[in-house]
Structure 1
Amino acid sequence: MRLQGRTAVITGGTRGLGRTIAEGYLAEGASVLCAARNPYDIKELGDYAPGRVAYQETDVTDPASVARMMAAAVDRFGTLDVLVCNAGVSRNGMIAKLGLADWNDTVQTNLTGVFLCAQAALPVMAAQGGGRIITVSSCTASRVAVGAAAYSASKAAVEMFTRSAAAEFAPKNIRVNCLSPGYIDEGMGKEVRGNERIWETYRKRLLSGRLGDPAELAAAAVFLASDESAYVNGHILEVNGGLLWA
Protein backbone atom coordinates (compact mmCIF):
# COMPACT_ATOMS: atom_id res chain seq x y z
CA MET A 1 0.00 0.00 0.00
CA ARG A 2 2.63 2.48 -1.13
CA LEU A 3 0.09 5.25 -1.79
CA GLN A 4 -2.04 4.80 1.31
CA GLY A 5 -3.71 8.05 2.36
CA ARG A 6 -2.76 9.98 -0.78
CA THR A 7 -5.03 11.59 -3.34
CA ALA A 8 -4.33 11.36 -7.06
CA VAL A 9 -5.99 13.22 -9.91
CA ILE A 10 -5.73 11.48 -13.27
CA THR A 11 -6.85 13.30 -16.40
CA GLY A 12 -8.22 11.01 -19.06
CA GLY A 13 -8.64 8.60 -16.18
CA THR A 14 -11.86 6.84 -17.18
CA ARG A 15 -10.51 4.60 -19.95
CA GLY A 16 -7.37 3.36 -21.65
CA LEU A 17 -4.02 3.96 -19.98
CA GLY A 18 -5.51 6.51 -17.61
CA ARG A 19 -7.87 3.95 -16.19
CA THR A 20 -5.01 1.44 -15.98
CA ILE A 21 -3.04 3.91 -13.85
CA ALA A 22 -6.12 4.56 -11.72
CA GLU A 23 -6.46 0.85 -11.01
CA GLY A 24 -2.79 0.67 -10.02
CA TYR A 25 -3.14 3.61 -7.63
CA LEU A 26 -6.29 2.22 -6.04
CA ALA A 27 -4.57 -1.13 -5.48
CA GLU A 28 -1.83 0.74 -3.60
CA GLY A 29 -4.31 2.51 -1.30
CA ALA A 30 -4.75 5.90 -2.96
CA SER A 31 -7.97 7.81 -3.42
CA VAL A 32 -8.41 8.75 -7.07
CA LEU A 33 -10.33 11.43 -8.90
CA CYS A 34 -10.71 10.44 -12.54
CA ALA A 35 -11.17 13.53 -14.69
CA ALA A 36 -12.38 13.28 -18.26
CA ARG A 37 -14.99 14.56 -20.66
CA ASN A 38 -16.94 11.31 -20.32
CA PRO A 39 -17.34 8.90 -17.38
CA TYR A 40 -17.35 5.73 -19.51
CA ASP A 41 -17.27 2.78 -17.09
CA ILE A 42 -16.18 4.71 -13.98
CA LYS A 43 -18.76 2.78 -11.95
CA GLU A 44 -16.58 -0.33 -12.16
CA LEU A 45 -13.74 1.52 -10.47
CA GLY A 46 -16.11 2.78 -7.78
CA ASP A 47 -17.28 -0.75 -7.12
CA TYR A 48 -13.67 -1.90 -6.83
CA ALA A 49 -12.73 0.74 -4.25
CA PRO A 50 -15.87 2.17 -2.60
CA GLY A 51 -15.38 5.64 -1.19
CA ARG A 52 -12.02 6.14 -2.88
CA VAL A 53 -13.11 6.95 -6.43
CA ALA A 54 -14.63 10.14 -7.80
CA TYR A 55 -15.39 11.39 -11.29
CA GLN A 56 -15.15 15.00 -12.41
CA GLU A 57 -16.23 16.07 -15.88
CA THR A 58 -13.24 18.03 -17.15
CA ASP A 59 -11.98 19.70 -20.29
CA VAL A 60 -8.22 20.12 -19.81
CA THR A 61 -8.10 22.86 -22.44
CA ASP A 62 -10.41 25.07 -20.32
CA PRO A 63 -8.74 26.81 -17.35
CA ALA A 64 -12.03 27.12 -15.44
CA SER A 65 -12.77 23.42 -15.88
CA VAL A 66 -9.26 22.53 -14.68
CA ALA A 67 -9.69 24.74 -11.61
CA ARG A 68 -12.95 22.98 -10.76
CA MET A 69 -11.18 19.64 -11.10
CA MET A 70 -8.52 20.61 -8.55
CA ALA A 71 -11.10 21.99 -6.15
CA ALA A 72 -13.22 18.84 -6.46
CA ALA A 73 -10.28 16.63 -5.48
CA VAL A 74 -9.49 18.67 -2.39
CA ASP A 75 -13.15 19.00 -1.41
CA ARG A 76 -13.73 15.27 -1.75
CA PHE A 77 -10.50 13.81 -0.37
CA GLY A 78 -8.78 16.67 1.48
CA THR A 79 -5.46 16.80 -0.40
CA LEU A 80 -3.91 16.78 -3.84
CA ASP A 81 -0.77 14.65 -3.65
CA VAL A 82 -0.36 13.32 -7.19
CA LEU A 83 -1.41 14.72 -10.55
CA VAL A 84 -1.17 12.53 -13.65
CA CYS A 85 -1.53 14.57 -16.84
CA ASN A 86 -2.68 11.76 -19.09
CA ALA A 87 -5.49 13.25 -21.21
CA GLY A 88 -4.57 13.18 -24.86
CA VAL A 89 -5.85 12.88 -28.40
CA SER A 90 -4.34 11.67 -31.64
CA ARG A 91 -5.25 13.33 -34.92
CA ASN A 92 -2.86 11.62 -37.26
CA GLY A 93 -2.31 12.75 -40.82
CA MET A 94 0.42 13.60 -43.29
CA ILE A 95 1.64 17.18 -42.86
CA ALA A 96 0.60 18.14 -46.39
CA LYS A 97 -3.01 17.24 -45.66
CA LEU A 98 -3.27 17.78 -41.90
CA GLY A 99 -6.02 20.27 -41.14
CA LEU A 100 -5.37 23.22 -38.85
CA ALA A 101 -8.30 22.24 -36.64
CA ASP A 102 -6.79 18.78 -36.06
CA TRP A 103 -3.37 20.30 -35.35
CA ASN A 104 -4.82 22.77 -32.87
CA ASP A 105 -6.95 20.13 -31.15
CA THR A 106 -3.91 17.90 -30.67
CA VAL A 107 -1.67 20.65 -29.31
CA GLN A 108 -4.39 22.16 -27.12
CA THR A 109 -5.21 18.84 -25.47
CA ASN A 110 -1.82 17.15 -25.32
CA LEU A 111 0.37 20.15 -24.48
CA THR A 112 -1.71 23.11 -23.35
CA GLY A 113 -3.79 20.76 -21.20
CA VAL A 114 -0.63 19.61 -19.39
CA PHE A 115 0.44 23.22 -18.87
CA LEU A 116 -2.95 24.25 -17.45
CA CYS A 117 -3.14 21.26 -15.11
CA ALA A 118 0.40 21.67 -13.79
CA GLN A 119 -0.10 25.41 -13.34
CA ALA A 120 -3.33 24.87 -11.40
CA ALA A 121 -1.81 22.15 -9.21
CA LEU A 122 1.20 24.25 -8.23
CA PRO A 123 -0.40 26.50 -5.59
CA VAL A 124 -2.44 23.65 -4.12
CA MET A 125 0.56 21.35 -3.73
CA ALA A 126 2.83 24.15 -2.55
CA ALA A 127 0.37 25.11 0.20
CA GLN A 128 0.36 21.56 1.56
CA GLY A 129 4.14 21.17 1.41
CA GLY A 130 4.74 19.35 -1.87
CA GLY A 131 3.47 16.76 -4.30
CA ARG A 132 4.13 14.78 -7.47
CA ILE A 133 3.23 15.66 -11.04
CA ILE A 134 3.51 12.98 -13.71
CA THR A 135 3.12 13.93 -17.35
CA VAL A 136 2.51 11.31 -20.03
CA SER A 137 4.45 11.34 -23.27
CA SER A 138 4.92 8.64 -25.92
CA CYS A 139 7.63 6.68 -27.66
CA THR A 140 6.86 8.79 -30.73
CA ALA A 141 8.16 11.88 -28.93
CA SER A 142 11.69 10.75 -29.80
CA ARG A 143 11.13 8.46 -32.79
CA VAL A 144 9.77 9.50 -36.15
CA ALA A 145 6.37 8.07 -37.07
CA VAL A 146 5.25 9.09 -40.54
CA GLY A 147 1.77 10.59 -40.44
CA ALA A 148 1.92 11.47 -36.74
CA ALA A 149 3.55 14.89 -36.85
CA ALA A 150 0.98 16.64 -34.65
CA TYR A 151 0.91 13.93 -32.01
CA SER A 152 4.68 13.43 -31.96
CA ALA A 153 5.42 17.14 -31.79
CA SER A 154 2.99 17.65 -28.92
CA LYS A 155 4.50 14.78 -26.94
CA ALA A 156 8.07 15.93 -27.56
CA ALA A 157 7.03 19.32 -26.19
CA VAL A 158 5.52 17.62 -23.12
CA GLU A 159 8.91 16.09 -22.33
CA MET A 160 10.69 19.46 -22.40
CA PHE A 161 7.86 21.05 -20.42
CA THR A 162 8.38 18.33 -17.81
CA ARG A 163 12.05 19.22 -17.39
CA SER A 164 11.24 22.93 -17.15
CA ALA A 165 8.51 22.36 -14.59
CA ALA A 166 10.80 20.11 -12.54
CA ALA A 167 13.33 22.94 -12.28
CA GLU A 168 10.75 25.59 -11.44
CA PHE A 169 8.70 23.51 -9.00
CA ALA A 170 11.60 21.92 -7.09
CA PRO A 171 11.82 24.75 -4.49
CA LYS A 172 8.20 23.94 -3.55
CA ASN A 173 9.04 20.25 -2.98
CA ILE A 174 7.07 19.25 -6.07
CA ARG A 175 8.72 16.64 -8.25
CA VAL A 176 7.79 16.47 -11.92
CA ASN A 177 8.53 13.41 -14.05
CA CYS A 178 7.29 12.02 -17.33
CA LEU A 179 6.02 8.54 -18.14
CA SER A 180 6.69 7.59 -21.76
CA PRO A 181 4.82 4.42 -22.82
CA GLY A 182 5.69 2.35 -25.82
CA TYR A 183 3.20 -0.08 -27.30
CA ILE A 184 0.96 -1.20 -24.46
CA ASP A 185 -1.86 -3.71 -24.86
CA GLU A 186 -4.45 -1.01 -24.25
CA GLY A 187 -5.80 1.94 -26.20
CA MET A 188 -3.68 2.83 -29.24
CA GLY A 189 -1.32 -0.09 -28.66
CA LYS A 190 -4.18 -2.55 -28.79
CA GLU A 191 -5.24 -1.08 -32.11
CA VAL A 192 -1.76 -1.71 -33.50
CA ARG A 193 -1.87 -5.31 -32.29
CA GLY A 194 -5.24 -5.78 -33.98
CA ASN A 195 -3.77 -5.14 -37.44
CA GLU A 196 -1.59 -8.12 -38.25
CA ARG A 197 0.32 -6.43 -41.06
CA ILE A 198 1.18 -3.37 -38.98
CA TRP A 199 1.83 -5.45 -35.86
CA GLU A 200 4.39 -7.62 -37.65
CA THR A 201 6.33 -4.48 -38.55
CA TYR A 202 6.33 -3.14 -35.00
CA ARG A 203 6.90 -6.50 -33.31
CA LYS A 204 10.33 -6.74 -34.93
CA ARG A 205 11.29 -3.44 -33.29
CA LEU A 206 10.52 -4.65 -29.77
CA LEU A 207 13.35 -6.35 -27.94
CA SER A 208 10.71 -7.98 -25.75
CA GLY A 209 8.84 -9.21 -28.83
CA ARG A 210 5.46 -8.32 -27.33
CA LEU A 211 3.18 -5.50 -26.31
CA GLY A 212 3.50 -4.24 -22.78
CA ASP A 213 0.99 -5.41 -20.20
CA PRO A 214 -1.09 -2.49 -18.86
CA ALA A 215 -0.12 -3.56 -15.32
CA GLU A 216 3.54 -2.98 -16.22
CA LEU A 217 2.79 0.62 -17.11
CA ALA A 218 0.73 1.05 -13.94
CA ALA A 219 3.68 -0.22 -11.90
CA ALA A 220 5.90 2.50 -13.35
CA ALA A 221 3.25 5.12 -12.60
CA VAL A 222 3.05 3.88 -9.00
CA PHE A 223 6.82 4.15 -8.70
CA LEU A 224 6.80 7.78 -9.83
CA ALA A 225 4.00 8.60 -7.37
CA SER A 226 5.55 6.79 -4.40
CA ASP A 227 8.40 7.55 -2.00
CA GLU A 228 10.54 5.08 -3.92
CA SER A 229 11.15 7.80 -6.52
CA ALA A 230 12.01 10.52 -3.98
CA TYR A 231 15.34 11.21 -5.71
CA VAL A 232 13.94 11.17 -9.25
CA ASN A 233 13.07 14.53 -10.77
CA GLY A 234 12.81 15.86 -14.32
CA HIS A 235 13.14 12.32 -15.67
CA ILE A 236 11.58 10.73 -18.75
CA LEU A 237 10.81 7.12 -17.80
CA GLU A 238 10.43 4.98 -20.92
CA VAL A 239 8.31 1.87 -20.55
CA ASN A 240 8.56 0.29 -23.98
CA GLY A 241 10.10 -3.17 -23.79
CA GLY A 242 13.28 -1.99 -25.49
CA LEU A 243 11.81 -0.26 -28.52
CA LEU A 244 14.10 0.12 -31.51
CA TRP A 245 13.27 2.27 -34.50
CA ALA A 246 14.17 1.91 -38.16
Structure 2
Amino acid sequence: MARRPSGIRPAPHHASLGEHVNNTLEGKVVLVTGASSGIGRATALALSKAGARVAVGARRADRLKELAQEAPGEILVLEVDVTDQQSVRDAVEATVDRFGALDALVNNAGVMLSGMILNADTAEWTRMVETNLLGSMYAVHAALPHLLRSKGAVVQISSTSGRISSAASGVYAATKSGINAFAEALRQEVTAEGVRVVVVEPGFVSTELTSHITDPAIQTMAKNMAESMRTLQPEDIAGAVVYALTQPEHVAVNEILIRPTDQTR
Protein backbone atom coordinates (compact mmCIF):
# COMPACT_ATOMS: atom_id res chain seq x y z
CA MET A 1 0.00 0.00 0.00
CA ALA A 2 1.38 3.39 -0.95
CA ARG A 3 2.27 5.55 2.02
CA ARG A 4 1.29 9.19 2.28
CA PRO A 5 4.34 11.47 2.44
CA SER A 6 5.01 12.78 5.94
CA GLY A 7 3.27 16.06 6.81
CA ILE A 8 0.62 15.81 4.07
CA ARG A 9 -2.94 15.41 5.27
CA PRO A 10 -5.89 14.27 3.17
CA ALA A 11 -8.01 17.13 1.85
CA PRO A 12 -11.05 17.72 4.04
CA HIS A 13 -14.44 16.86 2.59
CA HIS A 14 -16.59 19.93 2.06
CA ALA A 15 -20.31 19.28 2.00
CA SER A 16 -22.23 20.37 -1.05
CA LEU A 17 -25.47 22.34 -0.70
CA GLY A 18 -27.38 19.09 -0.45
CA GLU A 19 -25.12 17.49 2.13
CA HIS A 20 -25.46 19.71 5.18
CA VAL A 21 -25.35 17.69 8.37
CA ASN A 22 -27.84 19.99 10.09
CA ASN A 23 -30.36 20.28 7.30
CA THR A 24 -33.37 19.90 9.55
CA LEU A 25 -35.05 22.08 12.12
CA GLU A 26 -36.72 19.11 13.77
CA GLY A 27 -37.78 20.05 17.30
CA LYS A 28 -36.34 23.58 17.15
CA VAL A 29 -38.47 26.43 18.46
CA VAL A 30 -38.86 29.56 16.32
CA LEU A 31 -40.84 32.75 16.93
CA VAL A 32 -41.90 34.62 13.78
CA THR A 33 -43.30 38.15 14.01
CA GLY A 34 -45.52 39.66 11.32
CA ALA A 35 -46.69 36.16 10.45
CA SER A 36 -50.24 36.98 9.35
CA SER A 37 -49.30 37.57 5.70
CA GLY A 38 -46.56 37.71 3.11
CA ILE A 39 -43.00 36.79 4.03
CA GLY A 40 -43.83 36.09 7.67
CA ARG A 41 -46.62 33.69 6.81
CA ALA A 42 -44.57 31.87 4.18
CA THR A 43 -41.62 31.64 6.56
CA ALA A 44 -43.73 30.19 9.37
CA LEU A 45 -45.10 27.52 7.03
CA ALA A 46 -41.65 26.69 5.65
CA LEU A 47 -40.21 26.37 9.16
CA SER A 48 -43.07 24.12 10.20
CA LYS A 49 -42.52 21.93 7.14
CA ALA A 50 -38.84 21.71 8.11
CA GLY A 51 -39.81 20.27 11.49
CA ALA A 52 -39.73 23.35 13.72
CA ARG A 53 -42.24 24.16 16.41
CA VAL A 54 -43.33 27.66 15.49
CA ALA A 55 -44.85 30.51 17.46
CA VAL A 56 -46.50 33.00 15.12
CA GLY A 57 -47.16 36.56 16.21
CA ALA A 58 -49.14 39.41 14.65
CA ARG A 59 -52.00 41.76 15.42
CA ARG A 60 -54.41 39.90 13.12
CA ALA A 61 -54.93 36.77 15.20
CA ASP A 62 -57.71 35.48 12.94
CA ARG A 63 -55.24 35.11 10.08
CA LEU A 64 -52.80 33.34 12.37
CA LYS A 65 -55.45 30.78 13.26
CA GLU A 66 -55.94 30.04 9.56
CA LEU A 67 -52.17 29.64 9.19
CA ALA A 68 -52.09 27.21 12.13
CA GLN A 69 -54.66 25.00 10.41
CA GLU A 70 -52.54 24.89 7.26
CA ALA A 71 -49.18 24.19 8.91
CA PRO A 72 -48.08 20.55 9.21
CA GLY A 73 -46.48 20.98 12.63
CA GLU A 74 -47.25 22.46 16.04
CA ILE A 75 -48.10 26.16 15.91
CA LEU A 76 -48.63 28.58 18.78
CA VAL A 77 -50.81 31.56 17.86
CA LEU A 78 -49.94 34.82 19.61
CA GLU A 79 -51.60 38.19 19.20
CA VAL A 80 -48.63 40.55 19.25
CA ASP A 81 -48.10 44.26 18.74
CA VAL A 82 -44.35 44.72 18.27
CA THR A 83 -44.59 48.44 19.09
CA ASP A 84 -45.65 47.47 22.64
CA GLN A 85 -42.69 46.20 24.67
CA GLN A 86 -44.88 44.28 27.12
CA SER A 87 -46.72 42.57 24.27
CA VAL A 88 -43.40 41.42 22.83
CA ARG A 89 -42.10 40.21 26.20
CA ASP A 90 -45.33 38.31 26.78
CA ALA A 91 -45.03 36.64 23.37
CA VAL A 92 -41.49 35.47 24.06
CA GLU A 93 -42.43 34.13 27.49
CA ALA A 94 -45.51 32.39 26.10
CA THR A 95 -43.33 30.70 23.49
CA VAL A 96 -40.85 29.47 26.07
CA ASP A 97 -43.63 28.37 28.44
CA ARG A 98 -45.25 26.34 25.66
CA PHE A 99 -42.18 24.79 24.06
CA GLY A 100 -39.53 24.98 26.79
CA ALA A 101 -36.98 26.98 24.83
CA LEU A 102 -36.41 29.46 22.02
CA ASP A 103 -33.93 28.61 19.27
CA ALA A 104 -34.58 31.36 16.73
CA LEU A 105 -36.34 34.67 16.32
CA VAL A 106 -37.44 35.84 12.87
CA ASN A 107 -38.12 39.58 13.00
CA ASN A 108 -40.41 40.20 10.06
CA ALA A 109 -43.12 42.61 11.27
CA GLY A 110 -43.07 45.81 9.26
CA VAL A 111 -44.98 48.44 7.33
CA MET A 112 -44.04 50.43 4.24
CA LEU A 113 -45.70 53.85 4.10
CA SER A 114 -43.75 55.33 1.23
CA GLY A 115 -44.12 58.99 0.38
CA MET A 116 -42.27 62.18 -0.38
CA ILE A 117 -40.68 64.04 2.51
CA LEU A 118 -42.26 67.38 1.63
CA ASN A 119 -45.73 67.68 3.21
CA ALA A 120 -45.47 64.16 4.64
CA ASP A 121 -47.78 62.94 7.37
CA THR A 122 -45.13 62.49 10.05
CA ALA A 123 -47.44 60.17 12.00
CA GLU A 124 -46.61 57.63 9.28
CA TRP A 125 -42.90 58.17 9.97
CA THR A 126 -43.51 57.39 13.63
CA ARG A 127 -45.45 54.26 12.76
CA MET A 128 -42.66 52.95 10.53
CA VAL A 129 -39.93 53.66 13.06
CA GLU A 130 -41.92 52.10 15.89
CA THR A 131 -42.91 49.00 13.91
CA ASN A 132 -39.96 48.29 11.65
CA LEU A 133 -37.04 49.41 13.79
CA LEU A 134 -38.04 49.66 17.44
CA GLY A 135 -40.32 46.64 17.13
CA SER A 136 -37.45 44.44 15.95
CA MET A 137 -35.22 45.84 18.68
CA TYR A 138 -37.83 45.10 21.36
CA ALA A 139 -38.14 41.52 20.09
CA VAL A 140 -34.38 40.98 20.18
CA HIS A 141 -34.17 42.45 23.66
CA ALA A 142 -36.87 40.11 24.96
CA ALA A 143 -35.61 37.00 23.16
CA LEU A 144 -31.85 37.35 23.62
CA PRO A 145 -31.48 35.75 27.09
CA HIS A 146 -33.21 32.62 25.76
CA LEU A 147 -31.21 32.62 22.52
CA LEU A 148 -27.96 32.84 24.46
CA ARG A 149 -28.97 29.73 26.40
CA SER A 150 -29.87 27.80 23.25
CA LYS A 151 -27.02 29.22 21.13
CA GLY A 152 -29.74 30.17 18.72
CA ALA A 153 -30.21 32.67 15.92
CA VAL A 154 -31.77 36.02 15.09
CA VAL A 155 -33.05 36.60 11.57
CA GLN A 156 -33.76 40.22 10.66
CA ILE A 157 -35.90 40.74 7.58
CA SER A 158 -34.54 43.97 6.11
CA SER A 159 -34.74 45.21 2.51
CA THR A 160 -32.69 46.34 -0.45
CA SER A 161 -33.85 49.77 0.76
CA GLY A 162 -31.52 49.25 3.70
CA ARG A 163 -28.65 49.47 1.21
CA ILE A 164 -29.92 51.86 -1.45
CA SER A 165 -32.32 54.65 -0.52
CA SER A 166 -34.50 56.29 -3.14
CA ALA A 167 -36.97 59.14 -3.49
CA ALA A 168 -40.32 58.53 -1.76
CA SER A 169 -38.81 55.90 0.53
CA GLY A 170 -36.60 57.99 2.80
CA VAL A 171 -38.06 57.00 6.16
CA TYR A 172 -38.72 53.39 5.20
CA ALA A 173 -35.12 53.12 4.02
CA ALA A 174 -33.93 54.74 7.24
CA THR A 175 -35.71 52.07 9.29
CA LYS A 176 -34.20 49.27 7.20
CA SER A 177 -30.71 50.82 7.36
CA GLY A 178 -31.21 50.99 11.11
CA ILE A 179 -32.11 47.29 11.21
CA ASN A 180 -28.87 46.50 9.37
CA ALA A 181 -26.78 48.61 11.74
CA PHE A 182 -28.44 47.15 14.83
CA ALA A 183 -27.94 43.62 13.50
CA GLU A 184 -24.22 44.12 12.94
CA ALA A 185 -23.71 45.49 16.45
CA LEU A 186 -25.73 42.56 17.80
CA ARG A 187 -23.64 40.10 15.80
CA GLN A 188 -20.41 41.47 17.26
CA GLU A 189 -21.84 41.22 20.77
CA VAL A 190 -23.16 37.66 20.64
CA THR A 191 -21.29 35.69 17.98
CA ALA A 192 -18.63 34.55 20.47
CA GLU A 193 -21.49 33.14 22.57
CA GLY A 194 -22.65 30.99 19.67
CA VAL A 195 -25.65 33.10 18.60
CA ARG A 196 -25.86 33.67 14.86
CA VAL A 197 -27.31 36.86 13.38
CA VAL A 198 -28.73 36.83 9.86
CA VAL A 199 -29.90 39.82 7.81
CA VAL A 200 -32.11 39.01 4.82
CA GLU A 201 -32.55 41.87 2.33
CA PRO A 202 -35.30 41.20 -0.22
CA GLY A 203 -35.95 43.29 -3.28
CA PHE A 204 -39.47 43.50 -4.75
CA VAL A 205 -41.64 40.75 -3.26
CA SER A 206 -45.25 40.12 -4.19
CA THR A 207 -46.93 40.90 -0.85
CA GLU A 208 -49.56 43.29 0.47
CA LEU A 209 -46.85 45.65 1.75
CA THR A 210 -47.42 48.26 -0.98
CA SER A 211 -51.12 48.36 -0.08
CA HIS A 212 -50.10 50.15 3.13
CA ILE A 213 -49.10 53.23 1.10
CA THR A 214 -51.64 56.01 1.57
CA ASP A 215 -50.48 58.35 -1.21
CA PRO A 216 -52.36 57.22 -4.38
CA ALA A 217 -49.63 58.48 -6.74
CA ILE A 218 -46.88 56.67 -4.84
CA GLN A 219 -48.99 53.52 -4.58
CA THR A 220 -49.52 53.57 -8.35
CA MET A 221 -45.80 54.10 -8.91
CA ALA A 222 -44.97 51.11 -6.68
CA LYS A 223 -47.57 48.97 -8.43
CA ASN A 224 -46.23 49.86 -11.86
CA MET A 225 -42.68 49.16 -10.77
CA ALA A 226 -43.64 45.75 -9.43
CA GLU A 227 -45.52 44.92 -12.63
CA SER A 228 -42.44 45.78 -14.69
CA MET A 229 -40.57 42.73 -13.38
CA ARG A 230 -40.93 39.13 -12.28
CA THR A 231 -41.22 39.84 -8.57
CA LEU A 232 -40.06 37.51 -5.85
CA GLN A 233 -42.62 35.40 -4.01
CA PRO A 234 -42.80 35.20 -0.20
CA GLU A 235 -41.75 31.55 -0.46
CA ASP A 236 -38.46 32.63 -2.05
CA ILE A 237 -37.57 34.59 1.07
CA ALA A 238 -38.83 31.83 3.34
CA GLY A 239 -36.46 29.45 1.61
CA ALA A 240 -33.55 31.77 2.33
CA VAL A 241 -34.47 31.88 6.02
CA VAL A 242 -34.64 28.09 6.24
CA TYR A 243 -31.30 27.86 4.38
CA ALA A 244 -29.58 30.17 6.87
CA LEU A 245 -31.02 28.40 9.90
CA THR A 246 -30.10 24.92 8.71
CA GLN A 247 -26.39 25.55 8.23
CA PRO A 248 -23.96 23.66 10.49
CA GLU A 249 -23.39 25.43 13.81
CA HIS A 250 -19.95 26.67 12.78
CA VAL A 251 -21.39 28.40 9.70
CA ALA A 252 -22.97 31.85 10.09
CA VAL A 253 -24.75 33.18 7.02
CA ASN A 254 -24.78 36.78 8.17
CA GLU A 255 -26.30 38.46 5.12
CA ILE A 256 -28.49 37.38 2.22
CA LEU A 257 -29.37 39.91 -0.51
CA ILE A 258 -32.14 38.66 -2.79
CA ARG A 259 -33.40 40.63 -5.78
CA PRO A 260 -35.65 39.65 -8.65
CA THR A 261 -33.47 38.96 -11.65
CA ASP A 262 -35.21 41.85 -13.42
CA GLN A 263 -34.59 44.40 -10.63
CA THR A 264 -31.80 46.77 -11.60
CA ARG A 265 -31.17 48.45 -8.21
Do they fold alike, i.e. is TM over 0.5?
yes
SS of the residue corresponding to residue 227 of structure 1 reads coil
Equivalent of 2:176 in 155, 173, 180: 155
Q: Deviations over 1:160-179 (max 9, x none)?
A: 11111111111321111111
Q: Deviations over 1:77-133 (max 9, x none)?
A: 1110110011111222211122332111111111111111111111112233x1010
Q: Deviations over 1:156-215 (max 9, x none)?
A: 1111111111111113211111111111222337999xx9975664566xxxx5111322
Take 1:6 and 1:174, find their aligned partners in 2: how far apart are those partners?
14
Contact 1:17 1:187 in 2 (8 A): no
- The answer to whether 1:75 aligns with 2:104 is no
Equivalent of 2:190 in 169, 173, 176: 169
SS of the residue corresponding to residue 61 of structure 2 reads coil
Contact 2:68 2:77 in 1 (8 A): no
| 1:86-97 correspondence runs (5 A) | 86-97=108-119
Take 1:196 and 1:105, find their aligned partners in 2: how far apart are those partners?
22
Structure 1 counterpart of 2:18: none
Structure 1 counterpart of 2:47: 25
Structure 2 counterpart of 1:222: 242
Structure 1 counterpart of 2:141: 119
Equivalent of 1:10 in 32, 47, 57: 32
Shift in CA distance, 107/215, structure 1 to aligned 2, threshold 3 Å: same
Structure 2 counterpart of 1:141: 162
Contact 1:7 1:81 in 2 (8 A): yes
Structure 2 counterpart of 1:187: 208
Take 1:191 and 1:89, find their aligned partners in 2: how far apart are those partners?
7
After the TM superposition, list the runs of 4 or more consecutive aligned residues in structure 1 that deviate by more than 6 angstroms.
Answer: 189-192
Deviation at 1:155, TM superposition (A): 0.4
Q: Over the residues paired in the alignment, what is the CA RMSD in angstroms?
A: 2.4
TM-score (norm 2): 0.81
Q: How many residues align?
A: 237
Contact 2:27 2:53 in 1 (8 A): yes
Structure 1 unaligned segments of length 5 or more: list them.
Answer: none
Equivalent of 2:65 in 31, 37, 43: 43
Q: Which protein is bigger by CA-based radius of gyration?
A: 2
Deviation at 1:227, TM superposition (A): 2.8
Contact 1:15 1:40 in 2 (8 A): no
Letter of the 1:14 partner, please give it. Answer: S
Take 1:53 and 1:215, find their aligned partners in 2: how far apart are those partners?
18
